[in-house]
Each structure stands twice: as C-alpha cells, then as structure tokens.
Amino acid sequence: MKNLCIISVFLACVMPQLLMAQGDLAAGQAKAALCAACHGVDGNSQLSENPKLAGQNASYIVKQLNDYKSGARVNVIMAGMVAALSDQDMQDIAAWYASQQVTLQGADPETLEMGETLYRAGIKELSVAACSACHSPTGNGNAPAGFPSLSGQHPEYTLLQLKAFRSGERQNDQSSMMRTVVERLTDQELEALASYVSGLN
C-alpha cells in the first residue's frame, strides 16, 4: 500500500511535466527554422547574448515560451516570435532542441575554484543553497521539476540572467527560488558561477 501511494504521488507530480514535454521532432525541426537566426540551426547559438537551446529540458523550454507569450517573462523580440505559436508548436520546438547536443565551453581557470564551490556547496553562512541541488551535479537540470540545464550555456547569457533575477527584473522563477538564491551574491560570485557552468557536464 505504501509503495502504491508513493507511485501515485510520483505520477501526479511528474507525469504532467512529461506529457507537456511530448512533441514531434521532425515538426519541431521545421518550426524551429525561424529560431535558427538567433539560436543556431542545432540550438548552439553563436552569439553569447542568445541562449543555447541544444540539450535544454523540453519542459523548461515550453515554460519559457509560454512565459514570453503571457508576459511573465519580458522580452520584446521573443514576445513577437511566440505570439502565433500554439501549444503544440511549442512542444514540437522544445522536443527538437532537447534532442540536440549542446557544445561545451571551458571555465575561466582563475574563477574555477570559486565557481565550483558555489555550485556544489553554496554558502552556508548566507543560507545560499548549492546550485547542484536543483540543476544536478552535472548541470543537466531536472526535467520533471522544470529546472533548466545549465551545462555548456554561454557564460555571458547566464550572467545576464543571474543579474536579472538578482535585480528583480526577471521574475518568472517558481516561488522566487532563483531570486532568493542570488540576492546575496556579488558580481564576482555570479561571474564565477556563470563561467563554471559553461564547461560543466
């Protein structure tokens, strides 16, 4: 009986995320053609201010597209790009990008130790949680929970997002989790984190 309860809770929490992430790869590849100008044909963008989408958790991509569409995440360009997308379009595009392999970068050797410590242990004295708790030790995120993969992401883009969460400019994080984690971190610490995850795998 106990096992049945655990399975029921698991299915109630996880299945909606898994179902939401279902999309057609071939359709997604065709629909993502317009996205390629900024995000690259395979989701590995060449411009550091544009996020890599290759290998990103499909459920996370779908959430962000919906947030751009609703205005929960503010970006004029992305709002225009997603305005005409249906739920199925979003799922297809997300499935395509999730199926691609992200290209890794290398962390700055000068900030490697600080970045690794913050990512894996946080800062106990400031009650700053370890990033690995949500984004996994390998940086691949947690798809069922909707936590994004950070592995291989452009450090410039990651830093921009961390600062946006810290300033409150970006507010589409669940239960203010990201804003709570980064609000006490310095620019130097955020830079070290952004650099560290770019080579994490």
**67-87 per-position pLDDT tens digit:** 999 999 999 999 999 999 999
**34-48 per-position pLDDT tens digit:** 999 999 999 999 999
Start-end ranges of CATH 1.10.760.10 in the chain? Answer: 17-98, 112-198
What's the CATH architecture for 17-98? Orthogonal Bundle (1.10)
Alpha helices (runs of H) in the chain, residue ranges in sequence order: 2-20, 25-31, 36-39, 58-70, 76-82, 87-98, 112-121, 132-135, 155-167, 177-182, 187-198
pTM of the predicted structure, to 2 decimals: 0.87
Q: Is the pLDDT of residue 5 over 70?
A: no
Six-digit token string for 10: 């698991």
Between CA 99 and CA 56 the distance in angstroms is 8
Residue type, 188: Q
What local confidence, expressed as pLDDT, does residue 95 receive?
98
Between CA 146 and CA 130 the distance in angstroms is 17
Residue type, 199: G
- Cα–Cα distances in angstroms (integers) from residue 85 to residues 19, 34, 41, 52, 62, in the given order: 18, 12, 19, 20, 11
**85-117 per-position pLDDT tens digit:** 999 999 999 999 999 999 998 899 999 999 999
> Domain 112-198 maps to which CATH number in 1.10.10.10, 1.10.760.10, 2.60.40.10, 1.10.1660.10?
1.10.760.10
